[in-house]
């Protein structure tokens, strides 16, 4: 069971029961035992792998994790965009799903998307000319296909987005919104500080976690869009508006 969770990063009780041919009561007991050993984290409906917050994984390694949840988050976030908006769009797997969701919104016209993600720019290209894509420029980080300083924050400093969608590696009441690496954190901070509305998009595994680099206090966030695996107790204590996308 632990091997299956390691491969998928998150599995529901029903999925584990079907895979191993045991009752859900047995699955829950086994998951509780694994959680007691520190191998997994129990969340609503299942369990997820406890990740090492210090180890940054590549975009490709992360893309398959929580894919359905990220797609739901992306649809909910895309619904917040209106015609004529200027949108700042961060790098990451959830924001890439959001880029796809924006392309699927054929009603959108005159939207400008500013991004520091090369893969995100290519994803958005198919929606031209309905969507205008501006790439920040900067130094390439191949691990995430992201562009960082120098140049990235200089370009963002000249733009006043209506809304910014920013990903993170952790969001927790006391330590705030956090990220795993410093170069991208600088760009994320600029996006958040410049935008009229600041939206954090994060699957449930990020809630309650703390990563190495501070981005902003939770109180400065307009909205958190997360998924159904997010712990209810963490959502309740954040003190900001949270939308759970399903």
Architecture of domain 59-245: 3-Layer(aba) Sandwich (3.40)
Stretch 85-91: mean pLDDT: 97
User: Of 43, 58, 53, nearest to 10 (Cα)?
Assistant: 43
Let me know how long the chain is.
246
Cβ proximity of 152 and 187 under 8 Å: yes
Q: How many CA atoms lie within 13 A of 28 on its CB side?
A: 7
Residues of the chain with CATH 3.40.50.1360: 59-245
Q: How far apart are CA 217 and CA 189, in angstroms?
A: 11
Can you tell me the mean pLDDT for 83-110?
A: 97
Sequence-ordered list of residues with C-beta below 8 angstroms from that of 117, at least 6 positions apart, any chain: 89, 90, 91, 92, 95, 96, 99, 144, 145, 146, 147
**pLDDT, tens digit, 9 for 90 and up, residues 128-187:** 999 999 999 999 988 889 999 999 999 999 999 999 999 999 999 999 999 988 889 999
Share of the chain above pLDDT 70, in %: 95
Domain 2-49 sits in CATH 1.10.10: yes
The reported pLDDT for the residue numbered 143 is 81
Q: Which pLDDT band holds residue 66 (cuts at 50, 70, 90)?
A: confident
Instruction: Give 21-45 pLDDT, tens digit per residue.
Output: 999 999 999 998 888 777 788 888 8
Query: Helix (H, G, I), strand (E, B), or coil: what is residue 142?
Result: coil
| CA 179 to mean position of chain CA atoms | 11
């Amino acid at each position: 069971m632990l091997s299956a969770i390691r491969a998928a990063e998150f599995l529901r009780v029903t999925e584990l029961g079907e895979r191993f041919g045991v009752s859900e009561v047995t699955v829950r007991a086994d998951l509780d035992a694994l959680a007691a050993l520190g191998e997994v984290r129990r969340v609503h409906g299942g369990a997820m792998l406890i990740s090492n917050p210090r180890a940054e994984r590549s975009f490709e390694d992360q893309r398959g994790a929580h894919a359905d949840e990220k797609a739901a988050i992306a649809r909910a976030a895309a619904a917040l965009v209106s015609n004529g908006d200027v949108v700042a769009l961060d790098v990451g797997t959830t924001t890439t799903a959001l880029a796809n969701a924006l392309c699927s919104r054929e009603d959108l016209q005159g939207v400008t998307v500013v991004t520091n993600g090369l893969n995100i720019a290519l994803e958005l290209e198919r929606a031209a000319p309905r969507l205008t894509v501006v790439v920040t420029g900067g130094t390439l980080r191949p691990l995430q296909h992201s562009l960082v300083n120098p140049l990235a924050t200089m370009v963002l400093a000249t733009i006043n987005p209506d809304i910014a969608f920013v990903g993170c590696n952790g969001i927790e009441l006391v330590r705030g919104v956090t990220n795993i690496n410093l170069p991208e954190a600088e760009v994320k901070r600029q996006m958040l500080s410049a935008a009229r509305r600041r939206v954090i998009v994060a699957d449930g595994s990020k809630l309650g976690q703390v990563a190495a680099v501070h981005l902003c206090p939770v109180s400065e966030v307009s909205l958190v869009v997360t998924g159904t695996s997010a712990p209810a107790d963490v959502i309740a204590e954040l003190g900001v508006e949270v939308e759970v996308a399903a």
